[in-house]
Amino acid sequence: MTWIRVATLDSLESGACTDVEVAGKQLSLFRLGAAVYATQAHCPQDGSRLSDGQVIDDNVECMNSGSRYHIASGRVLSGPATEALKTYPTRAEGRDIFVQAGEVSADVERQWFRALEASAVSEGETVEVTVAGYPLLVYRLNGSFYTTSAICTHEFARLTDGWIEGETIECPLHQAVFHIPTGRVEEGPARTPLSCNPIEERDGDIWVSLPVVRMAKSTQGGSS
C-alpha cells in the first residue's frame, strides 16, 4: 500500500472538509484540530459530495440525504443511510499529511521532479531527499538508481539510518528488511511494502516521477 502526500496541515482549514484526488480516488479530508482524517468523498446513500454538506463537531452531514457520519470511523450516526463511509489511514510527517489510499494505478497522473545531483549518491549508499513533500531515499546499486519511501511501513521509523546489504535495506528500529528495487518485504515485522516510484538520470541529475494530488473546494463546518 502506498503512502501519498496529499496536503500540508496548514493548507487544511480546521473544522472543514476538503476534496482531493488521490491515486485515482476521490477523497474527503477533514481537519479536526491537529488530527486529519480521510474518507470517501461521496455519501453512500445518494452519491452527494460530502464537501457540499456540513461538518458538525466530529461528524459530517450530507446536504441532500441528511445522513450523518462519524468522521474518524465512518460509521452512520443517523439515517437514512445504512452503509458506513469508507475511511483511509492518514499520518503526519512534520507538517505534511499522507494518506494510504491503496496501490497507485499505472494511469494515475504523475509529474517528474528533480531530486538531486547523481554525483551526490555514492555506490552502495543512499541519500534522503524531500521531493514535492515526499520523504524519499535515493539509492545507487551496481550503477543503477532506485528510490523508495524514506519511512518504514511498520512503525514509521526513518530508514535513513538503516543498513544496506546487497539490494535490501534493514530498518534500524525493528529490523524489517525491504527489497530496494521493488519495495517488497523480505523480513518482518513489517507487512506493507515500501512505495517505489519511477526514477531516471538526466544529464547528471536524478529525476523522480510522483503522483499528482489535486485539491478541490473545502466547506467550513458549523454547529447544530
List the pLDDT tens digit at each of the 224 positions of the chain: 567 888 888 888 888 898 887 766 788 999 998 889 999 999 999 888 898 999 999 999 999 999 999 999 999 999 899 999 999 888 887 788 888 876 555 556 778 999 999 999 999 999 999 887 788 999 999 999 999 988 888 877 889 999 999 999 999 999 999 999 999 999 989 888 888 889 999 999 999 998 766 555 555 555 44
pTM of the complete model: 0.60
Q: What is 110-211's CATH topology? A: Rieske Iron-sulfur Protein (2.102.10)
Determine the pLDDT at residue 133.
Answer: 73
Q: What pLDDT score was predicted for residue 8?
A: 84
- CA-to-CA distance for 67 and 46, rounded, in angstroms? 10
> Environment class of residue 188 by beta-carbon count within 10 Å: exposed (0-12), middle (13-18) or buried (19+)?
exposed
Bridge-based pairing state of the strands 163-165 and 168-170: antiparallel
Residue 119 in grid coordinates = 554525483
The pLDDT value recorded for residue 103 is 57
* 3-105+214-220 and 110-211 have identical folds: yes
Interatomic CA distance for residues 98 and 29, integer angstroms: 11
Give DSSP secondary structure letters for 123-147. Answer: TT-EEEEEETTEEEEEEEETTEEEE
CA 119 to CA 49: how far, in whole Å?
48
Residue recorded with cell 473545502: 218
Q: How far is CA 186 from CA 40, 150, 152, in A?
A: 32, 17, 13
DSSP tag of 192: S
Amino acid at residue number 175 = Q
Q: What local confidence, expressed as pLDDT, does residue 218 receive?
A: 52
Do 167 and 178 meet the contact criterion of CB atoms below 8 Å apart? no
Nearest CA-CA partner of 136 in 150, 153, 146: 150
| Domains of the chain, residue spans | 3-105+214-220, 110-211
Fold of 3-105+214-220: Rieske Iron-sulfur Protein (2.102.10)
pLDDT of residue 73: 93
